[in-house]
Amino acid sequence: LLIGILIILVVYQILKELKLDCPVSKFPRAPGVENLPSVPDINYTYLKDGDVITTEGATLKVLAAPGHTDDHLVLFLEEENGLFSGDCILGEGTAVFEDLFDYMLSLEKILKLEPDVIYPGHGPVIENPKSKVQEYIRHRMIREQQILDALEYAPPNGLSAEELVNQIYTSTPKHLLKAAEINVLHHLQKLTKEKIIEENLQVVGNSRYVLLQSHQG
Name residue 168's amino acid. I
φ and ψ at 67, to 5 degrees? Answer: 140, -60
List per-residue pLDDT tens for the chain, 217 residues long: 455 565 666 666 666 666 667 676 666 676 676 776 776 777 888 899 999 999 999 999 999 999 999 999 999 999 999 999 999 999 998 888 999 999 999 999 999 999 999 999 999 999 999 999 999 999 999 999 999 999 999 999 999 999 999 999 999 999 999 999 999 999 999 999 999 999 988 776 779 999 997 777 6
Three-class SS state of 199:
strand
pLDDT of residue 50: 97
Are the C-beta atoms of residues 76 and 60 closer than 8 Å to each other?
yes
pTM of the model as a whole: 0.78
Distance between CA 84 and CA 61 in Å, rounded? 10
Helix, strand counts (H, E) of the chain? 5, 8
| pLDDT number for residue 27 | 66
Residues 6+ apart with CB under 8 A from 216: 152
- Give pLDDT, residue 202: 77
pLDDT attached to residue 18 = 67
**The pLDDT value given to residue 198:** 94
- The SS3 assignment for 64 reads strand
- DSSP letter string, 85-103: EETSS-SSS----S-HHHH
Which phi and psi (to 5°) does residue 178 adopt? -65, -40
Encoded amino acid at 196, one letter: I
Q: Looking at residue 137, what is its pLDDT?
A: 97
